[in-house]
Structure 1
Amino acid sequence: MKNFRIISVLSVITAIFAAVAAAAGIFYTSGGESYFYESIRGQQIEIYGRGLYQHMSSEVAVQGIAHDYVILFIAVPVLLISTFYLKKPGLKKILFHAGLVKFFFITYLFYMNMGMYNGLFIVYVILTSTSFFALALTLLNINPDTLKAGFEPGLPRKFIGGFLIFLSSAIALLWLQIIVAPLIDGSIIPASVEHYTSLTVQGLDLSILLPLSFVGGYLFIKDRKWGYFISAVTLVFLCFLMSALVAKIIAMALIGVNVIPVVFIMPPALILAVVCSIIFFKKIKPEAQKSTFYSSSSIHTGA
């Protein structure tokens, strides 16, 4: 595997800093109590008032803490295990690692850009950087030209591709509902902007992540090589992302926030993401663990 040592170092650094950031979000609780703050737009916002996310709204802060639980107790241990098993590379391991590292990259890209500034900003910068380069170097070990040949016949492309298309479309419609409704009624600014500058999550989702998932699903149904490439990484990514989103829904429900309609979308999406991932990876041929099924230049064991 090409650049194995570099990928391993970047992945371990990501795991360490992510554990620190997540633990701080969960266990650092100093500060006061929640209070109401009037935004520049005249909206009354309940501010969390304590811990790492003390300057964020209560609704968003509890989501961040829920996400941190998933990172600390699920994603970080799995990342360390995945990094260890990369010593003996195979197609399954490389695809899984790429999807997992993508989860860390997207997570801390959002933390770096949407959260209120706190003492861990530089940690978010480091995590965004290390996870991005770990992802890029891992993806360079995958050869799209031979990837499709690494799968056994009978892979349910319509089911898996249809799931990716449906989920990306459903979330896109959910976000567009938030954005378009104020444009129609003349208020312009969605209430969910609160005291923040913009809708960062919705913007990045609608511009990059959701179209990528949609196109990947479509190309996978059409049996195109890039469909296999995009879908494999996206499915693993979704397993972890949907776990975090379900945790966020639970956290919001516990403080009395209305979780409809997302409560009917995210939990089933998590189950389907796991099912599709299992089906997808079970169809990888045993011989696909050989270097000819990933990057043709990736036959080295070190950097």
Structure 2
Amino acid sequence: MTNINYQTKADKTLLYFTVPIVILIAICSSVGIWYQNLYSRETIDWLSQCIGQDISNLFFVVPILLVSSFYASKGNKIAKIIWIGTMITNIYSYVIYCFAVHFNFLFHVYCLILGLSIYSVIYFCINNFKEDFRNWFTEKVPTKAIGIFLFTIAVIFVLLWLSQSLPGALTNTVPESISNDGLLTNPIHVLDFSFYLPLIFITAVMIIKKKTLGYILAPMMTVFGIITNINIICLTSAAMVKTSSNNMPLIIGFSIFTIVCLGFLWLMLKNISKQSNT
């Protein structure tokens, strides 16, 4: 009898969703990096962030999505976790492209990437609706430590974003970070306050209580944290080049944070069950 380690049911549809997404991301990111007139109406701060995000998309997100979708389509559990975590991060990025970047000739491509990414995640959720994700892992997963870690991340970012947005809201003034970027509101605050940070809180509670959904959400949101940190490192580096600002402390800080996130992801993935669910 053949033992298929780390496998669950194969699903080629994940690959069919991902290939057009990565092709379109590669095109958009390449244009953004090498034809910077695309962002000619952005402020210098927002321009550097757009270019940094393009660099992250092209050199990190595209390869991760492509490789993870290939193995996920064959039923690999680890690849499925990395794929879904990266895809929800991609949704985050392209909501910003669609709503916070001035209209340009790639607008409809941004919308197409966002739509395909959303529907691929919906498809994954529907297709795995009855899956008992606890069976993907052994009982050695340190659920309490992982839950506390995720809860701490959420609290830190809630306090950080509130320190930027709440004073302006209380005094009816526009925060400096928003005015410097030439935006109406901060799209990162919108996404984090309304969806991503609450989801991290929910995930922390569910994994601590060992709920089945917590076992997919916890590594998924940790992957989200890792990819988001890489995005921040790339755009902070681009801003340092464009504006001659000293962003090295931020880069070092987020690099350390990325390593910590990788450590917690490893704690989960090393306890993936070797038993096939097929």
TM over 0.5: yes
Q: Are 2:89 and 1:103 equivalent residues in the alignment?
A: yes
State the partner residue of 2:177. Answer: 192
The AA in structure 2 aligned to 1:81 is: V
Counterpart CA distance in 2 for 1:238 and 1:64 is: 19
Counterpart CA distance in 2 for 1:105 and 1:282 is: 27
Compare 205-214 and 262-271 and name the one that shifted more.
262-271
User: In the superposition, relative to structure 1, how do residues 3 and 146 fare at CA in structure 2: closer, same or farther (>3 Å)?
Assistant: closer
The AA in structure 2 aligned to 1:23 is: S
Counterpart CA distance in 1 for 2:262 and 2:244 is: 29
Q: Are 2:228 and 1:241 equivalent residues in the alignment?
A: yes
Q: Are 2:238 and 1:231 equivalent residues in the alignment?
A: no
> When the two structures are superposed, what TM-score results if normalisation uses the length of structure 2?
0.88
Q: Are 2:198 and 1:211 equivalent residues in the alignment?
A: yes
Counterpart CA distance in 2 for 1:91 and 1:84 is: 12
SS at match of 1:52: helix
SS at match of 1:140: helix
- RMSD, aligned CA: 2.3
State the partner residue of 1:36. Answer: none
Q: Deviations over 1:46-79 (max 9, x none)?
A: xxxxx22111111111111111111111211221
User: In the superposition, relative to structure 1, how do residues 246 and 144 fare at CA in structure 2: closer, same or farther (>3 Å)?
Assistant: farther
SS at match of 1:154: coil
Aligned pairs for 1:1-303 (under 5 A) are: 4-29=11-36, 51-143=37-129, 146-184=132-170, 186-194=171-179, 195-254=182-241, 255-257=243-245, 259=247, 265-287=253-275, 289-291=276-278
SS at match of 1:188: coil
Counterpart CA distance in 1 for 2:206 and 2:72 is: 28
Query: 5+ unaligned residues in a row in structure 1: which ranges?
Result: 30-50, 292-303
The AA in structure 1 aligned to 2:240 is: A
Counterpart CA distance in 2 for 1:143 and 1:177 is: 38
Counterpart CA distance in 2 for 1:19 and 1:53 is: 17
Q: Verify the 8 A CA contact 2:10 2:72 in the aligned structure 1.
A: no
SS at match of 1:225: coil
Compare 9-18 and 235-244 and name the one that shifted more.
235-244
Query: 5+ unaligned residues in a row in structure 2: which ranges?
Result: 1-7
Shift of 1:253: 3.2
User: In the superposition, relative to structure 1, how do residues 139 and 269 fare at CA in structure 2: closer, same or farther (>3 Å)?
Assistant: farther
Q: Verify the 8 A CA contact 2:14 2:73 in the aligned structure 1.
A: no
SS at match of 2:174: coil
Q: Verify the 8 A CA contact 2:69 2:80 in the aligned structure 1.
A: no
Counterpart CA distance in 2 for 1:231 and 1:6 is: 24
Counterpart CA distance in 2 for 1:201 and 1:12 is: 27
Counterpart CA distance in 1 for 2:62 and 2:131 is: 32
Counterpart CA distance in 2 for 1:102 and 1:207 is: 15
State the partner residue of 2:5. Answer: none
Compare 140-149 and 222-231 and name the one that shifted more.
140-149
Counterpart CA distance in 1 for 2:199 and 2:152 is: 13
Shift of 1:165: 1.2
Q: Deviations over 1:244-272 (max 9, x none)?
A: 11122222334244659855753332112
Counterpart CA distance in 2 for 1:129 and 1:3 is: 24
User: In the superposition, relative to structure 1, how do residues 259 and 167 fare at CA in structure 2: closer, same or farther (>3 Å)?
Assistant: farther
Q: Verify the 8 A CA contact 2:9 2:74 in the aligned structure 1.
A: no
Counterpart CA distance in 2 for 1:283 and 1:148 is: 11
Larger radius of gyration: 1
Q: Verify the 8 A CA contact 1:161 1:221 in the aligned structure 2.
A: yes
Q: Verify the 8 A CA contact 2:10 2:75 in the aligned structure 1.
A: no
Q: Verify the 8 A CA contact 2:24 2:113 in the aligned structure 1.
A: yes
Counterpart CA distance in 2 for 1:19 and 1:165 is: 34
Shift of 1:145: 5.6
Q: Verify the 8 A CA contact 2:21 2:113 in the aligned structure 1.
A: yes
Using CA pairs under 8 Å that are at least 6 residues apart, name the structure with larger relative contact order, 1 or 2. 2
Shift of 1:125: 0.2
Higher helix share: 2
